[in-house]
Amino acid sequence: MRYRFEMSFVALAVLLGLMGLVLTAAAAQSGVAERKTIPRTADGKPDFTGVWAGPGFTHRVGPNDTDTPAVTPYDPKKMSPFKPGGEALMNRPITGDVLKDDPTAVCLPNGLPRQIVSPYAQQWIQAPGRMVILYEYMHFFRVIPTDGSPHAKDVELTWMGDSVGKWEGDTLVIDTIGLKDWVLDATHTEKGSRWHSDALHLIERLRYIDPMTVSYQVTIDDPKIFTAPWTQDFQMKLHPTWQLYEFVCEENDRCRAGKCVESEAQKGK
């Protein structure tokens, strides 16, 4: 038995050594020095300030601090069973009207659940009692109180909803209600698209896994569609050299409503 424990410790040491080599190699490949500790604010809370590749990226950091975007839908295997009529409420058939089939195709907002998993950078700015999130995609933003304030009593339905935050130890919990009936994610098939209802209650839980990586857990509670809340786990990866770029949906919009035309570079070829 003692020999077996000794072998286990040896194997663990080897494994940890290999993990260290992998992390060191990844840092070297990106060309960016990774920070060694989790940053904290003056009050001791983890500091999420920075520009991040959110759930819509592979998080395989490449040369020059690059990352690979990936369209990331919510996983049907994670979803709770449907209520009677819930599946039809979520999976909406193609109508031929782009405003109903994919409103983002005519530059309407994608809404919070889809924004979270979109393959664009996002910048978090942490201040005492507030978290500001700036999204590169369509330049949406959120200003979230983090002092435990409750939701307003009369919340107007919007694309990004009404968000309030609180701390549970080192975990930031963001609670959002007041979301319009809108697209859930970027799922579009011959069967149609996926939507959530105006009763959606969305909870985000964020905590550091290591100094460069954050666990990003999303809980979907939509009582008009599902019998119970369900949760999916994602991650965010810090990119120290990144900045947000200007995004104008109407600019160079060559495929409005799926009807594409040639770009200037393509004409004459």
> Same domain for 21 and 69?
no
**Reported confidence tier of residue 37, pLDDT bands at 50, 70, 90:** very high
> Same domain for 2 and 89?
no
Total number of domains constituting the chain? 2
**Chain mean pLDDT for the chain:** 87
pLDDT value at 38 more than 80: yes
Task: Report if residue 89 sits inside a domain.
Answer: yes
- Vertex 35: Cα angle to 30 and 40 (nearest 5): 145
**Reported confidence tier of residue 7, pLDDT bands at 50, 70, 90:** very low
> Same domain for 179 and 244?
yes
- Vertex 125: Cα angle to 124 and 126 (nearest 5): 115
> Same domain for 26 and 83?
no
Q: What integer pLDDT is reported at residue 224 of this predicted model?
A: 98
> Same domain for 123 and 168?
yes
Q: What integer pLDDT is reported at residue 108 of this predicted model?
A: 93
> Same domain for 76 and 9?
no
- The residue segments making up the domain with residue 70 are 50-255
Q: What integer pLDDT is reported at residue 128 of this predicted model?
A: 97
> Same domain for 86 and 126?
yes
Task: Report if residue 18 sits inside a domain.
Answer: yes
pLDDT digits (tens, 9 = 90+) for 196-211: 999 999 999 999 999 9
What is the model's pTM? 0.84
> Same domain for 14 and 124?
no
Phi, psi of 2 (to 5 degrees): -60, -40
Please, how many CA atoms are within 13 Å of residue 69, restricted to the half-sphere of its CB? 8
pLDDT digits (tens, 9 = 90+) for 42-52: 999 999 999 99
Q: What integer pLDDT is reported at residue 2 of this predicted model?
A: 31
